[in-house]
Amino acid sequence: MSDKINYGAHARLFPTVKSDEDRATSVFLACLNLVYEFRRDLMHTVGRRVSKRGNDFKATVHPKFGGRYSPEDIPDGLLEHSKTGSWRAAIEVKIKKTDLNQDQLERYLGRVVENKLQALITISNEMCANPARPPLRLASSDKKLRKVPHFHWSWKYISHTAEKLLLDDGVSDPIQRTILEEFLLFLQDSKSGVEGFTVMNQGWTDFVDDLKVRGTPEIQSYEDAVSDWHQESAELAIIIARKFNAKTTQLLSNDDKKSSENRLKNDVDLLRERGDLYSEFDIDGVDHPLRVTLDVDQRSLRISMRHELSDKVKTPHKRIERFLRQFKDDNDEDRSGKHEHMHIFAKWPYLSEMTNTTLFDAIQRMVDGELQGSKLIRDDKDSIQYVDLTYSPMGVAGDMRSRKKIISTIESRVRFFCEHYVDL
């Protein structure tokens, strides 16, 4: 370890510091020290494998750097993992509405390089697709700083990691489990400063209005909308994972995976071309991704998923009937649930366009023995590829202009679709 660095103070589980940010930092780092499975899962996301004994890991607050650094230049914490050589990462923490800016990021990366650390980990309420792709990337041309591995844990990601361990009974030691339970309660308290993504940017309403009248918003407005959508998509991944207690990953193209800048540019191009904000989510145990499309210029929301059909029957309409039976209301032989705003689409070989009808209509025709010959069925085809279920809820147009309502609407409608139309 460099002679210029002192570990600083121990991370306390019950800190007496006055600063909310210092308190959150201390409690979190103390839990990393004390709960093996929690430490294991989070450190795995930055490429480190820690031992159960814990003698290869140390987390401390406010490391002391040699030289004349102002308090603004000193990270909030330091992690060291010494199993295979000394690996150290500076920790910079933000809570509430505070996020890191470019100047701060450059200074902290500078401290990492000067003090021969191996990585920077930022923590804030800002969401991201995964820890290896932080929401804020360095814009500097300094090659030394750009080479520093930079990871990001949102507070919601940290909270979800703890919650999943507890749901899965993944903490073997009962005392450590109790510590993690208390930490989760701390994070869930409104006074902790931990938040998810709850509101679109200040210019969102004007942006929506411009698109509605086929106006030409400034490129910054497009970038702000897409940046917000990236955070909301990360939040949705956690919501879906929590709903099914299953790992959920946002799917990105190879180009988008290379950098957040590529992803921002590509999604801005899509938004300018089609007026859409779009995300796909891979759920463990589910064959096909869940797709979420916010059609901003048309003021609508679409949530959809592809479903394979049973091969126990061969005739296309019989295969669809077999699929539809799972949605029939067993409490009434003659009526099905209404399935409001749900549509079923059928994909046929060698045809680009899909046939479709409402899910309610399809179920009713199945019950009445009239599915064959309906507009959903292509009688000239003796095989069918798959079906899509698509949910287009009402009321989205009225919520689209509201910076808060549109977020709550998206999340509640995704939860509804997951509960009723995704089968693990």
pLDDT, tens digit (0-9, with 9 covering 90-100), for 387-397:
999 999 999 99
Q: pLDDT of 278-327, one tens digit each?
A: 999 999 999 999 999 999 999 999 999 999 999 999 899 999 999 999 88
pTM: 0.73
Q: Which of the four pLDDT bands, split at 50, 70 and 90, describes residue 208? A: very high
pLDDT in tens, 16-73: 888 888 999 999 999 999 999 999 999 999 999 999 988 899 999 988 776 555 566 6
On whether the CB atoms of residues 193 and 20 are closer than 8 A, the answer is yes
pLDDT of residue 377: 96
pLDDT at position 63 = 82
**Residue type for 389, please?**
L
Q: In the prediction, which pLDDT does 235 show?
A: 87
Say how far apart CA 126 and CA 197 lie, in whole Å: 7
Provide the pLDDT for residue 258.
76
Between strands 342-347 and 386-391, the pairing is antiparallel
Question: 157-192 pLDDT, tens per residue?
Answer: 898 889 888 888 899 999 999 999 999 999 988 888
Could you tell me which residues come within 8 angstroms of residue 35 by beta carbon, excluding any fewer than 6 positions away?
A: 171, 176, 179, 180, 183
* Spatial contact of 128 and 152, defined as CB atoms under 8 Å apart: yes
Distance CA 282, CA 258 (A): 19
The pLDDT tens digits of the residues spanning 118-152 come to: 999 999 988 776 788 787 777 777 788 888 899 99
Q: Rg for the chain (alpha carbons), in Å?
A: 25
pLDDT exceeds cutoff 60 at 4? no
Residue 193: helix, strand or coil by DSSP? coil
202, exposed or middle or buried, with CB in 10 Å at 0-12, 13-18, 19+? Answer: exposed
% of the chain surpassing 70 pLDDT: 93
Least confident of 2-16, 98-112, 254-268, 271-285: 2-16
**3 state DSSP class of 341:** coil
Q: How confident is the model at residue 97 (pLDDT cuts 50, 70, 90)?
A: confident
Mean pLDDT of the chain: 88
3-state DSSP call for residue 132?
A: coil
